[in-house]
């Protein structure tokens, strides 16, 4: 079961989180793999998307925001766009599009940032927007302060958090075909020794960057966590190995209905409404060339198919269109 663990370091201005996406991640991969038009993701694309999904959960959980956090990576490489979307209730979905073969050993720069124009965008889209309200979006390049290309998503996001929040952050991310996981350690705003104060000004936060010895010590320990350890060890073991000399205060883990889980907004009803908007003539022209109308969700990859009987039901009265679809047609 997918889970999110939050913790604090007693008396220190440092907080942390560990996310482990298991069923939520394999649900995303299985839908994509079952799509006959696209097939499964290549391993490097899969791993990037898994890291994005894990990072999205960590970032969404780190803010108090009623809406969607959308993490996007895009550029001029074979991977044109990768997206992970996490709602405030931790439901999530993710997808990626690519237009050419991706090398088995390709890293971030080779997948997205070949010409140096790759970008990472983080969008906060409120659930209930006020009239005229626009989503907030922050964008950072896929290179460091000296112009060097970054090959790890974690480095890109650490750079973003430092710029946008003025808070030191360490991220460790990893993914494979079974799990997507992440560890986040962040310095909290402080005013005075050991006091937490969320109302610090931007300047005061900026002045603290890199100066807190407690954070620096814990961040150094967190950075020693390897990809293999993050993917294979349970949360208790990770916390003990890294921080056995620290007093860690843990919260009840979020899992199941309150934790990270896959959810896509697509449905057969929504696809039916889309086909209805195309009109009966367009539907009939498609069915004249093939046995059914096939529509795939661009986000999760699930395919919806409508044969001639299904299509006819769409264009009858709304009341009749809600009747159960027969499981077998003779």
CA 235 – CA 3 distance, rounded (Å): 10
Work out the average pLDDT over 19-37: 91
How would residue 190 be classed by pLDDT, with cut points 50, 70 and 90?
low
Q: How many other CB atoms sit within 10 Å of the CB of residue 156?
A: 24
Per-residue pLDDT reduced to its tens digit, 68-106: 999 999 998 899 999 999 999 999 999 998 887 888 888
Per-residue pLDDT reduced to its tens digit, 202-226: 445 444 555 678 999 999 999 999 9
* Alpha-carbon torsion, ordered 149, 152, 158, 160, to 10 deg: 50
Q: Residue 303's pLDDT is what? A: 81
Of 116-120, 148-152, 197-201, 302-306, the least confident: 197-201
Report DSSP state, residue 186: E
13 DSSP β-pair partners: none
More confident residue, 302 or 11: 11
First to last CA, the chain: 41
Work out the average pLDDT over 50-58: 97
pTM, 2 dp? 0.83
Question: Which of 94-108, 231-245, 308-322 tops mean pLDDT?
Answer: 231-245
Q: Residue 4's pLDDT is what? A: 97
How would residue 198 be classed by pLDDT, with cut points 50, 70 and 90?
very low
Q: Residue 37's pLDDT is what? A: 79
Work out the average pLDDT over 277-303: 79
Q: Residue 199's pLDDT is what? A: 43
Work out the average pLDDT over 276-303: 79
Q: Is the pLDDT of residue 309 over 60?
A: yes
How would residue 201 be classed by pLDDT, with cut points 50, 70 and 90?
very low
Q: Residue 319's pLDDT is what? A: 42
Q: Is the pLDDT of residue 25 over 60?
A: yes
Instruction: Calculate the average pLDDT of the chain.
Output: 84
CA 174 – CA 181 distance, rounded (Å): 6
Buried b (16+ CB within 10 A) or exposed e, 60-80: bbbeebebbbbbbbbbebbbb
Question: Can you list the alpha helix ranges (DSSP code H) found in 209-256?
Answer: 213-223, 227-232, 235-243
Q: Residue 153's pLDDT is what? A: 95
Q: Residue 200's pLDDT is what? A: 43
Q: Residue 193's pLDDT is what? A: 39
Among 16, 18, 27, 21, CA closest to 260: 21
Tokens of 81: 């766009």
Q: Is the pLDDT of residue 328 over 80?
A: no
Work out the average pLDDT over 50-70: 91
Q: Residue 61's pLDDT is what? A: 92
Per-residue pLDDT reduced to its tens digit, 2-24: 999 999 999 899 999 999 999 99
Q: Is the pLDDT of residue 179 over 70?
A: yes
Per-residue pLDDT reduced to its tens digit, 128-161: 777 777 778 888 889 887 878 889 999 999 988 8
Query: What are the Cα distances from residue 320, in Å, to 86, 283, 317, 323?
Result: 36, 18, 5, 5
């Amino acid at each position: 079961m997918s889970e999110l663990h939050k913790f604090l370091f007693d008396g220190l201005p440092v907080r942390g989180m560990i996310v482990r996406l298991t069923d939520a991640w394999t649900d995303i991969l299985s839908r994509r793999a079952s799509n006959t038009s696209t097939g499964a993701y290549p391993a490097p694309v899969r791993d990037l998307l898994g890291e994005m999904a894990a990072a999205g959960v960590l970032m969404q959980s780190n803010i108090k925001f009623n809406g969607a956090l959308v993490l996007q990576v895009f550029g001029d490489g074979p991977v044109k766009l990768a997206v992970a979307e996490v709602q405030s209730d931790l439901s999530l979905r993710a997808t990626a599009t690519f237009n050419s073969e991706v090398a088995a050993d390709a890293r971030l720069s080779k997948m997205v940032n070949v010409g140096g124009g790759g970008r990472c965008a983080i969008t906060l889209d409120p659930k209930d927007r006020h009239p005229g309200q626009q989503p907030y979006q922050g964008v950072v390049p896929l290179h460091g302060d000296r112009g060097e290309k970054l090959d790890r998503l974690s480095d890109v996001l650490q750079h973003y958090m430092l710029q946008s929040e003025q808070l030191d952050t360490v991220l460790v991310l990893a993914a494979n075909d079974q799990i997507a996981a992440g560890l986040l350690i962040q310095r909290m705003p402080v005013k005075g020794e050991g006091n937490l104060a969320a109302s610090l000004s931007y300047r005061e936060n900026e002045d603290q960057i890199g100066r807190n010895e407690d954070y620096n010590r814990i961040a150094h320990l967190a950075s020693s966590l390897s990809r293999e350890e993050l993917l294979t060890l349970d949360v208790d073991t990770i916390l003990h190995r890294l921080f056995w000399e620290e007093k860690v205060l843990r919260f009840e883990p979020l899992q199941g209905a309150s934790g990270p889980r896959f959810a896509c907004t697509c449905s057969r009803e929504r696809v039916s409404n889309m086909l209805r908007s195309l009109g009966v003539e367009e539907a009939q022209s498609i069915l004249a060339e093939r046995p059914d109308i096939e529509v795939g969700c661009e986000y999760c990859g699930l395919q919806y198919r409508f044969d001639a009987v299904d299509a006819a039901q769409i264009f009858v009265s709304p009341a009749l269109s809600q009747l159960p679809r027969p499981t077998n047609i003779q």
